Structure 1
Amino acid sequence: MNKSLVLIKPDGVQRLMIGKIISLIEERGLKITGLKMLKMDDDLALKHYSAHVDKAFFKELKGFMTSSPLIAICVEGTNAVTLMRSMMGATNPLEAAPGTIRGDYGITVGMNLIHGS
Structure 2
Amino acid sequence: MERTFAYLKPNAIQRGLVGEIITTLEKKGFKIVALKMIVMDEHLAGELYREHTGKDFFVPLMKFVQSGPVVAMVLEGENAIKRLRHTVGRTDPLEADAGSIRGRYGVSVRKNLIHASDSPESASREIALFFEEREILDYTLALEGEL
For residues 64-83 of structure 1, the aligned pairs below 5 Å read 64-83=64-83
Give distance in 1, aligned partners of 2:10 and 2:93.
16
Give distance in 2, aligned partners of 1:57 and 1:77.
32
- Stretches of 4+ aligned residues off by more than 2 angstroms: none
Structure 2, gaps ≥5 residues long: 118-147
Give distance in 1, aligned partners of 2:92 and 2:47.
23
For residues 1-117 of structure 1, the aligned pairs below 5 Å read 1-117=1-117
SS of residue paired to 1:107 = coil
TM-score (norm 1): 0.98
Give distance in 2, aligned partners of 1:90 and 1:37.
24
2:70 aligned partner, one-letter code: L
Structure 1 equivalent of residue 140 of structure 2: none
CA RMSD of aligned residues (A): 0.6
> Percentage identity across aligned positions?
44
Instruction: Note the C-alpha offset of 1:34.
Output: 0.2
Instruction: Note the C-alpha offset of 1:111.
Output: 1.7
TM-score (norm 2): 0.78
> Which is higher, the Rg of structure 1 or of structure 2?
2
More strand by share: 1
**Aligned length, in residue pairs:** 117
Structure 1, gaps ≥5 residues long: none
